[in-house]
């Protein structure tokens, strides 16, 4: 089970840090990602961090968040983080973390095996 926290209301230009903690499993075995879904929009890939063993723990971001968002993981704490800086109103969405046990890089939501319930991020302009 994945549980997100850290969402809330923030002004444009501000920062938030989201957390995703696993219970009943070990996150170190998975590549992890964050997705978001804004009002009236399709689900969008936000960030991915590969499992460290075999994949080097590399990170990936789409252009819309690159340079502003940072994904990281603390395997000892069984937690993945998403640091979001310089937030914009268009970042408003429900943010969900997801776990991928596969071996190949993917940004397709359907390829991810486990999901959290999501946490709301609202950026006021």
Strands (E), the chain: 2-5, 8-11, 16-22, 31-37, 44-49, 59-60, 69-74, 79-84, 93-100, 114-115, 119-124
φ and ψ of 56, to 5 deg: 75, 0
Bridge partners for 81 per DSSP? 19, 72
pLDDT-derived band at 55, boundaries 50, 70, 90: low
Q: By C-alpha distance, which of 108, 11, 113 is closest to 62?
A: 108
pLDDT tops 90 at residue 3:
yes
pLDDT tops 70 at residue 79:
yes
Distance CA 33, CA 99 (A): 7
């Amino acid at each position: 089970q994945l549980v997100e926290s850290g969402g809330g209301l923030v002004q444009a230009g501000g920062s938030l840090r989201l957390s995703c903690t696993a219970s009943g499993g070990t996150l170190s075995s998975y590549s992890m990602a964050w997705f978001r879904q804004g009002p009236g929009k399709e689900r969008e890939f936000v960030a991915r961090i590969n499992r460290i063993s075999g994949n080097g723990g590399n990170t990936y971001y789409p252009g819309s968040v690159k340079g502003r968002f940072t994904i990281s993981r603390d395997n000892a704490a069984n937690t993945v983080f998403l640091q979001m800086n310089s937030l914009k109103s268009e970042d408003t969405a429900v943010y969900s973390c997801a776990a991928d046990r596969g071996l190949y890089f993917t940004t397709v939501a359907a390829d991810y095996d486990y999901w959290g319930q999501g946490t709301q991020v609202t950026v006021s302009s």
